[in-house]
């Protein structure tokens, strides 16, 4: 009986600690009917497509297209039409940088078109099981079987099509536990996924093994690989450079130090948000209070976790 009472008490303590972290409002779903796809040329038959959600990269070959990420399911037709303006060749592969639905929502539709979904093995696991957003509490249900990756890898993989190669590399426990970078050596284009953001704060999926320490470590791994002449395609934001990644890293380090210092003084999450520890970066990035506060919250929770 005592063991049962002790177990019940422990559960209540854990539940209370969890409830102390207030769930935040979700970002409203976009009006996808108004979204327009913007195409940016990267050189050597490569392009970046922007719509709603993460950046999409396409590499054209005479045997088909290698596509990196695919945004939301509602944008399948618009993305497919934008690619059709670039080439008559079909999409042969869709490579995922991670499992979030603003990067993988179109999996099922592109798979039905005949594309092979390629991803790190943990991405397949997350998609198959469904996930929960640690900040908002939103639940993403398990993906249907056809939306799951058909080819997976553990550490690295080289994808070949029509004479060009895409070098895939897994970076463990950074933004999530399945983050993948992709490098196209013939075009010197490096795709970071959500390890790097330009022009805004990153999301840190602390509920799925992401952390601020992991982000900094992941950015260091990216910096060790990229060169000054590469075009850097971030998960969100415009095409950038190695110098911009260095600036981005400094922001992450500053945020970590400031929020860790606040935690060491005993400040609660809400108190740290109210203190606006990153006010200089908030102003530079022109973010509203919710955007700035959410970044503080994900850093705070990843440090406390």
Closest CA to 66 of 122, 123, 121, 110: 110
Task: Give strand pairing partners of 153.
Answer: 120
Q: What is the mean pLDDT of the chain?
A: 93
The pLDDT of residue 184 is: 98
Res 120 pLDDT > 90: yes
Res 255 pLDDT > 50: yes
Beta pairing class for 116-120 and 151-153: parallel
Return d(Cα 48, Cα 50) in angstroms, integer: 7
Scanning the chain, the segments in alpha helix (DSSP H) are 2-19, 76-84, 101-104, 107-112, 121-129, 212-225, 242-264, 269-275, 279-285, 289-304
The pLDDT of residue 280 is: 98
Model confidence band, residue 17 (pLDDT cutoffs 50, 70, 90): very low
How confident is the model over 89-95, as a mean pLDDT?
98
The pLDDT of residue 16 is: 39
Q: Which CATH topology does 35-241 take?
A: Metallo-beta-lactamase; Chain A (3.60.15)
The domain segmentation of the chain, as residue ranges, is 35-241
Strand order in the sheet with 189-197: 156-161, 164-170, 180-184, 189-197, 231-236
Percent of the chain scoring above 90 in pLDDT? 90
Res 14 pLDDT > 60: no
Q: Is the dihedral of CA 22, 171, 119, 82 positive or negative?
A: positive
Res 279 pLDDT > 90: yes
Distances, alpha carbon 70 to alpha carbons 53, 84, 107, 112, in Å: 9, 15, 7, 14
Q: What is the per-residue pLDDT across 136-181, written as a single tens digit (0 to 9) for each? A: 999 999 999 999 999 999 999 999 999 999 999 999 999 999 999 9
Model confidence band, residue 75 (pLDDT cutoffs 50, 70, 90): very high
Return d(Cα 194, Cα 173) in angstroms, integer: 12
Question: Dihedrals φ, ψ of 197, to 5°?
Answer: -125, 140
Model confidence band, residue 12 (pLDDT cutoffs 50, 70, 90): very low
What's the start-to-end Cα distance of the chain, in Å? 31
Model confidence band, residue 28 (pLDDT cutoffs 50, 70, 90): confident
The pLDDT of residue 19 is: 40
The pLDDT of residue 20 is: 53
Model confidence band, residue 57 (pLDDT cutoffs 50, 70, 90): very high
Q: What is the per-residue pLDDT across 239-248, written as a single tens digit (0 to 9) for each? A: 999 999 999 9
In terms of phi and psi (left: phi > 0; alpha: psi -120 to 50; beta: otherwise), the region of 148 is: beta
Return d(Cα 131, Cα 234) in angstroms, integer: 23
């Amino acid at each position: 009986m005592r063991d049962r009472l002790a177990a019940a008490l422990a559960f209540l303590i854990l539940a209370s600690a969890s409830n102390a972290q207030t769930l935040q409002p979700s970002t409203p779903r976009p009006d996808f009917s108004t979204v327009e796809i913007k195409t940016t040329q990267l050189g050597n038959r490569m392009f970046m497509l922007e719509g709603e959600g993460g950046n999409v990269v396409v590499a054209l070959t005479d045997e088909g297209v290698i596509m990196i990420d695919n945004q939301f399911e509602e944008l399948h037709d618009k993305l497919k039409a934008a690619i059709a303006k670039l080439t008559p060749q079909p999409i042969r592969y869709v490579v995922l940088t991670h499992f979030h639905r603003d990067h993988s929502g179109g999996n099922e539709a592109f798979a039905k078109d005949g594309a092979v979904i390629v991803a790190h093995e943990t991405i397949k696991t997350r998609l198959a099981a469904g996930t929960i957003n640690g900040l908002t509490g939103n639940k993403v249900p398990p993906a249907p079987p056809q939306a799951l990756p058909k080819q997976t890898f553990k550490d690295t993989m080289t994808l070949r099509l029509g004479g060009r190669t895409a070098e895939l590399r897994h970076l463990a426990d950074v933004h999530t536990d399945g983050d993948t970078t992709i490098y196209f050596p013939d075009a010197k284009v490096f795709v970071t996924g959500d390890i790097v953001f330009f022009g805004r704060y990153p999301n840190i999926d602390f509920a799925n093994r992401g952390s601020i320490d992991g982000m900094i470590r992941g950015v260091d791994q990216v910096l060790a690989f990229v060169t000054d002449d590469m075009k850097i395609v971030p998960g969100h934001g415009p095409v950038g450079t190695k110098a911009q990644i260095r600036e981005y890293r400094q922001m992450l380090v500053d945020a970590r130090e400031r929020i860790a210092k606040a935690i060491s003084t005993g400040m609660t999450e809400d108190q740290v948000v109210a203190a606006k520890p990153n006010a200089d970066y908030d102003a530079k990035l022109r973010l509203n209070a919710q955007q700035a506060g959410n970044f503080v919250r994900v850093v705070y929770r990843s440090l406390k976790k």
